[in-house]
A and B are shown apart, each in its own frame.
Chain A
Amino acid sequence: GAVVSQHPSRVICKSGTSVKIECRSLDFQATTMFWYRQFPKKSLMLMATSNEGSKATYEQGVEKDKFLINHASLTLSTLTVTSAHPEDSSFYICSAPHHRDGYTFGSGTRLTVV
Chain B
Amino acid sequence: AQSVTQLDSHVSVSEGTPVLLRCNYSSSYSPSLFWYVQHPNKGLQLLLKYTSAATLVKGINGFEAEFKKSETSFHLTKPSAHMSDAAEYFCVVTHASGGSYIPTFGRGTSLIVHP
Is B49 an interface residue when CB atoms closer than 8 A count as contact?
yes
| Least CB separation from A49: chain B residue | B100
State how many residues of chain A have any CB contact under 8 Å with chain B: 25
Is A93 an interface residue when CB atoms closer than 8 A count as contact?
yes
Is A77 an interface residue when CB atoms closer than 8 A count as contact?
no
B21 to chain A, nearest CB (A): 14
Q: Is the CB of A44 within 8 A of B46?
A: no
Q: Which of A14-22, A67-75, A105-113 lies at the interface with chain B?
A: A105-113
Question: Given that A34-B103, A43-B108, A97-B101 are known contacts, is A102 also in contact with B34, CB under 8 Å in the complex?
Answer: yes
Secondary structure dominating the interface of A = strand
The CA-CA distance from A86 to B42 in the complex, in Å, is 21
Is A58 an interface residue when CB atoms closer than 8 A count as contact?
no
Q: Is the CB of B102 within 8 A of A107?
A: no
What chain B residues lie within 8 Å of A91 (beta carbons)?
A: 41
In this complex, which of B94, B98, B102, B108 has the most chain A Cβ atoms within 10 angstroms of its Cβ?
A: B102
Is A25 an interface residue when CB atoms closer than 8 A count as contact?
no
Within B18-63, which residues are at the interface with A (CB < 8 Å)? 32, 34, 36, 41-46, 49
* B→A interface (CB under 8 Å): 32, 34, 36, 41-46, 49, 90, 92, 94, 98, 100-103, 105-108, 110
Q: Which 8 A-B pairs have the closest CB atoms?
A: A107-B43, A105-B44, A105-B43, A43-B107, A43-B105, A102-B49, A108-B43, A44-B105
